[in-house]
Amino acid sequence: MLLDDLKSILSTSLDPEIKSGSPYRLASVLVVIYGQSPTIIMTEKPKSMKYHAGEISFPGGKLDATDSDLLQTALRETSEELGLDVSKDNVVGQLTPVMTLNSGFLIYPFVSILNEIPTLTANSEVEKILHIPLNPLLQTISKDVDPSHNLKDEMYTFEYQNQIVWGASARILKQIRNTLRFI
């Protein structure tokens, strides 16, 4: 699949406004897809992190008091974590928010499609930057039940180089997979 196709399929309206009264802590991530052979950027979190230690995730984080909306949170966090500055004009869509089951975050995923990216530089919140071929990753889906987490119907895993993507990140990937499957 080509980037233009992905851009067309994953384009949606954006609703980055901060909803007050949520019982969850708000966060957002940026799903960055780039290149001739569509590649997705994910990160491995350091094992020393307070939340989501050692997990494979998308760049992003919790809403900061200075953020005007959740899209700004995703863009700011992506810049901080990877040194990748993405403009709002390069954000083509938004997926359905997902909850983390143990840490109490409601995560708003935004999608950016870029032709190319510069060399990325990880900050202290990132152990490793992963450039993962999108289509092969989406084919590794497995419905899995992890007994260490609350049971939920939407428990899926994906695999990349013997690393498991699970939790909220896997539910975001599942949304992308479902959207692309219907084309």
Picking from 41, 34, 16, the residue whose alpha carbon sits closest to that of residue 26 is: 16
pLDDT of residue 24: 85
Average pLDDT over the chain, rounded to an integer = 89
181 within a domain of the structure (yes/no) = no
177 within a domain of the structure (yes/no) = no
Question: Do 70 and 63 form a contact (C-beta atoms < 8 A)?
Answer: yes
70 within a domain of the structure (yes/no) = yes
128 within a domain of the structure (yes/no) = yes
182 within a domain of the structure (yes/no) = no
22 within a domain of the structure (yes/no) = yes
58 within a domain of the structure (yes/no) = yes
41 within a domain of the structure (yes/no) = yes
Residue 89's domain comprises 3-134
Report the number of distinct structural domains present in the chain.
1
In Å, what is the CA distance from 36 to each residue of 21, 33, 115? 42, 10, 7
- Once rounded to an integer, what is the mean pLDDT over residues 158-167? 90
Question: Do 135 and 38 form a contact (C-beta atoms < 8 A)?
Answer: yes
pLDDT tens for 141-153 read 887 555 454 545 5
pLDDT tens for 73-125 read 999 999 999 999 999 999 999 999 999 877 889 999 999 999 999 999 999 99
> What is the distance, to the nearest Å, from the Cα of residue 77 to the centroid of all Cα atoms in its chain?
12
Contacts of 125 (CB under 8 A, 6+ apart): 45, 46, 49, 61, 80, 81
pLDDT of residue 153: 53
Kind of pairing between the strands at 25-34 and 105-114 = parallel
The CATH number assigned to the domain holding 109 equals 3.90.79.10
